[in-house]
Every structure is written in C-alpha cells, then in structure tokens.
Amino acid sequence: MYADDETIRRILTSTGDTWAVVGLSGNSSRAAYGVAAVLQRYGKRVVPVHPKAETVHGGRGYASLAEIPFPVDVVDVFVNSELAGPVADEAAAIGAKAVWFQLGVIDEEAYERTRAAGLDMVMDRCPAIEIPRLG
C-alpha cells in the first residue's frame, strides 16, 4: 500500500542521485551505514544527516536537511517512526522530490502529507533490498 513497484522504480532509477540519509553516522553496526554503502555502489551520492554531522563513506555530514547547501533528490529516513513525520515535512520544505521511510518506519499521516505536497514516497521498505530487484 505504501510502496508500489512503479514508485519504487521511479525513485531508484529516475528521481535523481543525491540521497540525504537521515540518521546516518559513522557507526558501522547501524543499518543506515550498510544501506548507504549499497546506495553508493549503485551510483547514488550519499549525504549523511545526523546531529553529529560526521563524514561517512566520504560524504560530508550535515546536522539537518536545511543545512545542506545543494539540492537533494531523495530523503532516506532512518529515525524512529515518532520522529519521521517532521523529517518528511522538512524534506518537502527543502524541495526534495521523494521521501523513503526505511523498514519499520511508519507514519501514515506523514505519508499523506508528503504525497499531498507532490512528492513520491515509499514507506516501510529498504532501497538496498529493492535496487537489486530492479534487474
């Protein structure tokens, strides 16, 4: 319901290659770290967004989406569901084209707001799982 194949394919293949990964830090045991590496292998520019603003996988980190000084195509969200809605709202505010909520990140109201704002959105899926499926 929140992740149709057409939207997944569009986000992964034609929405753009600059992905802000919210919740990405230098902690290699966290899921965001591994998913960001997969995104890079598939040609995506990964921009870490985390309060620590760490450089991760060679990408300079920012403390918030609003601090990124260049356009972002997709905002990939690795925060708890309770915190995800404001991130989706900020993604729309900075002009992102799509929002991707990771596995287990679910906020139906944020989904509705984001779609109403004209952005593509996928919820409760992982791009590292979906990219190889594209063939």
Instruction: Report the relative pairing of strands 120-122 and 98-101 from DSSP bridges.
Output: parallel
pLDDT digits (tens, 9 = 90+) for 66-77: 999 999 999 999
Q: What is the pLDDT of residue 1?
A: 72
Give CA–CA dist 43/30, Å, rounded: 21
Q: What is the mean pLDDT of residues 4-26?
A: 96
3 pLDDT higher than 90: no
**CA separation, residue 135 to residues 8, 9, 129 (Å):** 13, 11, 12
Say which DSSP state 67 is in.
G
Q: What is the pLDDT of residue 66?
A: 97
Q: What is the pLDDT of residue 91?
A: 98
Angle between helices 81-93 and 108-116 (to 10 degrees): 10
Residue type at 58 in one-letter notation: G
Give CA–CA dist 128/37, Å, rounded: 9
> How many other C-beta atoms lie within 10 A of the C-beta of residue 73?
18
Say which DSSP state 9 is in.
H
| Residue 6 CA, distance from chain mean position | 17
* Mean pLDDT, the chain, whole residue set: 96
pLDDT-based confidence at residue 88 (cuts at 50, 70, 90): very high
pLDDT digits (tens, 9 = 90+) for 35-50: 999 999 999 999 999 9
| Residue 58 CA, distance from chain mean position | 17
| Residue 82 CA, distance from chain mean position | 16
Q: What is the pLDDT of residue 32?
A: 96
